Amino acid sequence: MLWLNSGVIILSKYIKNNKDFGLQYDWKKIKHEMHQLSIPADVHNPEFLPLDAAKFFVCCSERNIGKTTNWLLLGMVMNEMYGTIPQYIRQREDMIAPKALKNLFDTILLYDYVEKVTHGRWNSVYYNSRRYYYCNVDETGQMIEKAEQHFMFVCSIEGAEMLKSSYNAPMGDLIIFDEFIGRMYYPNEFVLFADLCKTIIRGRRSPIIAMLANTINPHSPYYNEMSIKDDFEKLNQGDSKIVTTQAGTRIYIEIVGATAEKKEKNSVINRLFFGFKNPLLGAITGESTWSIKEYQHIPELKENEDVHVISRQLYVLYSGKLVRLDIVLHSTLGRCIYAHWANKTYKDSIILTNEYRTDSRYMYRYGSGLVEKFLKNMLAENRVYYATNDVGCLLDAYFAYIKQLHI
């Protein structure tokens, strides 16, 4: 297969000479073309990732570090060299509406990357019917010419069912799931995402999948679903590794760290605009990896105070983590809940979960009857106290998940 686009000629080969397996990408040549774009050194750049060593690339970081822009550039280079049609994915349909994506290519346009990638053939892009096309615009921004073939397709997990039987993407070898850690995790979201990837991939071996996030929730169910949770929790900013699942899927994971140049820029901006004592700003300022708020901790007993434990039966199981909700009677605070990490349950335990019920101890979501009523009252009256902020973060994620189900 001879591919000729705007000046780059690639003699394409198929994996094991089998067209059904997809194209054999020469990542060295692709990275060379990426290098010609002179992407700034202080941003995330997939040019330096082991693109031939894994199929999933999970990259999380603070904001404004170039993840989305530079993965889009990689897709554009692959399109130019091989005719690849990147598949850009978001969670919901409203996230891919024209008004939501109107600024997606702003940085790429600002720095004339369209002209650089297409060797001067095109100078802009436009979005129509879930597809991005190259075009040329004049000095006033008026479109004067447009490409017939789109260079990127856009879809959502929410709308994936509509694509399942009719959509074909034989050149959809780069899948970009942007901001995959959202404020909400929808029921069976990872399964729906995997199903969408299957629709795109079909039987090819050639695709790679990028999952990008401005890290919000360290307890995202995605980590657990992908069997990378334990490895991910051990990473610090700037760390990366390749994880191989028990079934053999290779996943590159990274918490993208800011370079010295980026840190210096951030320090100036933080001093000007975000010099507030609020731990929630950590993931915005780059001073922490995770965005975790301060929760009310289990209080230390004062003189003449005491606590009587009423029950240690209630647990929450979410994203592979177990939390015990001790029901206590505090001499000053009254009846409340003390939440701790736990590592085992018992025969008389009551386990609230959104996962599979494996025996009669498990109750779905808030539970039912007196359990549900009691728990909702405790939450509404702010009578839950946490051993650590991390425990509070996980429970927040769990209750946010079940609340969105309108239960």
With contact defined as beta carbons under 8 Å apart, do 196 and 160 qualify? yes
Mean residue pLDDT of the chain comes to: 87
First vs last C-alpha separation in the chain? 55
Query: What pLDDT score does 273 carry?
Result: 75
Joined tokens for residue 249: 């899927």
Question: Does the pLDDT value for residue 290 go beyond 70?
Answer: no
Strand order in the sheet with 321-330: 362-364, 350-353, 307-318, 321-330, 334-341, 384-386
Percent of the chain topping pLDDT 90:
59
- The C-alpha atoms of residue 199 and residue 344 are separated, in whole angstroms, by 39
User: Residue ranges of the alpha helices (H) in 202-259?
Assistant: 221-225, 229-233
pLDDT band at 8 (very low <50, low <70, confident <90, very high): very low
Residues 325-342: tens digit of each pLDDT: 999 999 999 999 999 999
Percent of the chain topping pLDDT 70:
87
Of the candidates 147, 212, 221, the residue with the CA atom closest to the CA atom of residue 175: 212
Query: What pLDDT score does 79 carry?
Result: 97
Tally Cβ neighbours within 10 Å of residue 20. 11
pLDDT band at 62 (very low <50, low <70, confident <90, very high): confident
Question: Does the pLDDT value for residue 134 go beyond 80?
Answer: yes
Collapse the DSSP code of 106 into the 3-class scheme (helix H, G, I; strand E, B; otherwise coil) and give the result: helix
- The C-alpha atoms of residue 367 and residue 375 are separated, in whole angstroms, by 9
Q: Residue 345 — φ and ψ, nearest 5°?
A: -120, 175
Specify the range with the lowest mean pLDDT, choosing from 215-224, 362-371, 373-382: 215-224
Query: What pLDDT score does 325 carry?
Result: 96
Query: What pLDDT score does 153 carry?
Result: 98
Specify the range with the lowest mean pLDDT, choosing from 87-96, 139-148, 229-238, 320-329: 229-238
pTM for the structure as a whole:
0.78
Mean pLDDT confidence for 266-282 = 66
Mean pLDDT confidence for 13-32 = 94
- The C-alpha atoms of residue 389 and residue 386 are separated, in whole angstroms, by 7
Residues 223-262: tens digit of each pLDDT: 888 988 888 888 888 889 999 988 899 999 998 876 555 5
Query: What pLDDT score does 278 carry?
Result: 62
Rank 98-107, 216-225, 312-321, 359-368 by mean pLDDT and report only the highest: 98-107
pLDDT band at 7 (very low <50, low <70, confident <90, very high): very low
pLDDT band at 154 (very low <50, low <70, confident <90, very high): very high
Query: What pLDDT score does 262 carry?
Result: 56
Question: Does the pLDDT value for residue 288 go beyond 60?
Answer: no
Question: Does the pLDDT value for residue 87 go beyond 80?
Answer: yes
The DSSP code for 297 is B
Joined tokens for residue 53: 């060593």
Joined tokens for residue 95: 């996230």
pLDDT band at 358 (very low <50, low <70, confident <90, very high): confident
Question: Does the pLDDT value for residue 6 go beyond 60?
Answer: no
Joined tokens for residue 12: 């394409």
